[in-house]
Structure 1
Amino acid sequence: MAITLVDFPAQTIVGLPVDARFEQLSQFVPRAWRQLFAAVEGEVQFVEVSLPPREGQFREIVGFLADGSTPLPPGTVQLALPAGRFLTQTHVGPLEGIAGAFGELYAHAEANGLAANDLKLDFGYDPALSAAPHQLFLGISTPEMDAFLESLSSPVHNEIGAIFIPVSDIAAARDWYCALLGREPTGDILFGHLWVVPMRAGSGLVLDSKDFGGPHDGKPAFHFNSRDLPAAHAKCAALGVDALGPIVDGMFFTFKDPDGNLLMVADVPPSQHSL
């Protein structure tokens, strides 16, 4: 197939991230595709994005081209891909031959004095994972694209692993938060002062009684989600929480835990996730 050099416009890609060792990709990537196909409705253009490896992990996004009006399926991230230059060719044949076709693009870049990077785009996937033609794109190094890829490679990730709440009595705080969230107080207290609250999704929540120096009471450090604020407010009232405020603008209310930490429950759209 003919290989050409093209200018590719800026695109927004929404999809499921897959970070895995090389030998795991053949298992994890098809699983992510099946999950995405089940979640996406309507006609979209599917694409698999390969990003530069980080910390020994290969990084893929199985996703689709999107715009600002596209609903984001649960668990997806958004990648704002800048405009750039790419080598491209069409692959016709089994999916197993795509890696070899990208090898041809790398070889073409080297033979023609072009510096290829590790950004690859693969258009052509469908819910049947058939052998339909795939349009492949290999990124060519430019200052703008190199800066973009470097921004995705920081060893400090744009992820919040856990939020710590200072408490004075770890066992009592564990029981109070479990009552609030409808959870059983299971799991060990770690090192005599830490307890990890079992959360459904998102960032972790850790109670910590070591060197308790007072609560976080200026502004809430986070909010709990709810899709029924009146019911959530009524539950907090039934628990007798301190400083329970009214529901504000139909969106949130605040209250305090027994140690005086200011907490919030909110019904707001989920935060946008991006790489």
Structure 2
Amino acid sequence: MNVREVSRGALTLVGIPVMAPFQELGQRVPSAWRELLEQVKDLPHRVDPEVFYGVFRDPEPSRDGASALYTYWVTTEVSALATRPPGLRVLNVPARRYAVVTCQGGPERIEASYLALDEWSSSKGFRPGPEALGLERYDTRRQRLTPPYESFDYDIYKPLE
């Protein structure tokens, strides 16, 4: 798998955060994508109406032995933000370096892509900081945001430090 290192400028994103145990994300994230797609139809200042970002960080540890909670944002990028639709929140992602891999193929490629990023990052001595945000960049000309998924074709950005 081809892992590459890139630098990205800061992103101003608007979207919907989803916080849930891992096993619930498969149902809750597609629902959030549908909601976001409805709300951003007429959102001004979108950088590219075909590009969306899933934004994530490592799970928050549970205090009581329950499942760890994952936070996953469904977002779109804007160049300016005068007003925002109700229910959407702003997320600013600072400029940084990332390891990037393209996830292409069936569902089995998702885990393989993340493992390739982890192995590459470890071999280079990189570790994400506790506040670092990872990105999944979806171009709707390549990848649907909501099920059914015939195949996958999107980019995964792992933050480097």
TM-score (norm 1): 0.47
Paired with 2:109 and 2:32, the residues of 1 have a C-alpha distance of 20
What is the one-letter code of the residue matched to 2:155?
Q
Shift of 1:120: 1.5
* Contact in 2 for aligned 1:88/1:137 (Cα 8 Å): yes
Q: Mapping of 1:156-235 within 5 angstroms?
A: none
Matched, 1:124 2:138: yes
* Contact in 2 for aligned 1:123/1:136 (Cα 8 Å): yes
Paired with 1:75 and 1:115, the residues of 2 have a C-alpha distance of 33
Shift of 1:12: 0.7
Paired with 1:100 and 1:76, the residues of 2 have a C-alpha distance of 32
- In the alignment, which of 53, 59, 64 is matched to residue 59 of structure 2? 53
Question: 3-state DSSP class of the match of 1:137?
Answer: strand
What is the one-letter code of the residue matched to 2:116?
E
What is the one-letter code of the residue matched to 2:56?
S
2:26 corresponds in structure 1 to 26
1:35 corresponds in structure 2 to 35
What is the one-letter code of the residue matched to 1:46?
F
Would the alpha carbon gap of residues 94 and 10 (structure 1) be closer, same or farther in structure 2, given more than 3 Å must change? Answer: same
Shift of 1:99: 3.3
Q: Mapping of 1:138-149 within 5 angstroms?
A: 138-141=158-161
> Max radius of gyration: which structure?
1
Shift of 1:39: 1.8
1:12 corresponds in structure 2 to 12
Matched, 1:78 2:104: no
Shift of 1:98: 2.2
Question: 3-state DSSP class of the match of 1:133?
Answer: strand
Paired with 1:84 and 1:128, the residues of 2 have a C-alpha distance of 25
% identical equivalent positions: 27
* Contact in 1 for aligned 2:50/2:139 (Cα 8 Å): no
* Count of residues in Structure 1 that have an aligned counterpart in Structure 2: 141
* Contact in 2 for aligned 1:125/1:132 (Cα 8 Å): no
Deviation string for 1:129-158 (max 9, x for gaps)?
3435201100112xxxxxxxxxxxxxxxxx
* Contact in 2 for aligned 1:15/1:77 (Cα 8 Å): yes
Shift of 1:71: 4.7
What is the one-letter code of the residue matched to 2:88?
T
Paired with 1:88 and 1:64, the residues of 2 have a C-alpha distance of 19
Paired with 1:77 and 1:37, the residues of 2 have a C-alpha distance of 14
* Contact in 1 for aligned 2:103/2:153 (Cα 8 Å): yes
TM-score (norm 2): 0.76
Question: 3-state DSSP class of the match of 1:29?
Answer: helix
Gaps of 5+ in 1: 142-275
2:157 corresponds in structure 1 to 137
Deviation string for 1:208-253 (max 9, x for gaps)?
xxxxxxxxxxxxxxxxxxxxxxxxxxxxxxxxxxxxxxxxxxxxxx
Deviation string for 1:105-134 (max 9, x for gaps)?
011111122223563201115456343520
Gaps of 5+ in 2: 43-48, 62-67
Paired with 2:31 and 2:139, the residues of 1 have a C-alpha distance of 13
Matched, 1:68 2:88: no
* Contact in 1 for aligned 2:102/2:153 (Cα 8 Å): yes
Question: 3-state DSSP class of the match of 2:105?
Answer: coil
More strand, by proportion: 2
Would the alpha carbon gap of residues 36 and 96 (structure 1) be closer, same or farther in structure 2, given more than 3 Å must change? Answer: farther
Matched, 1:97 2:117: no
Paired with 2:83 and 2:109, the residues of 1 have a C-alpha distance of 33
2:45 corresponds in structure 1 to none
Higher relative contact order (CA 8 A, sep 6+): 2
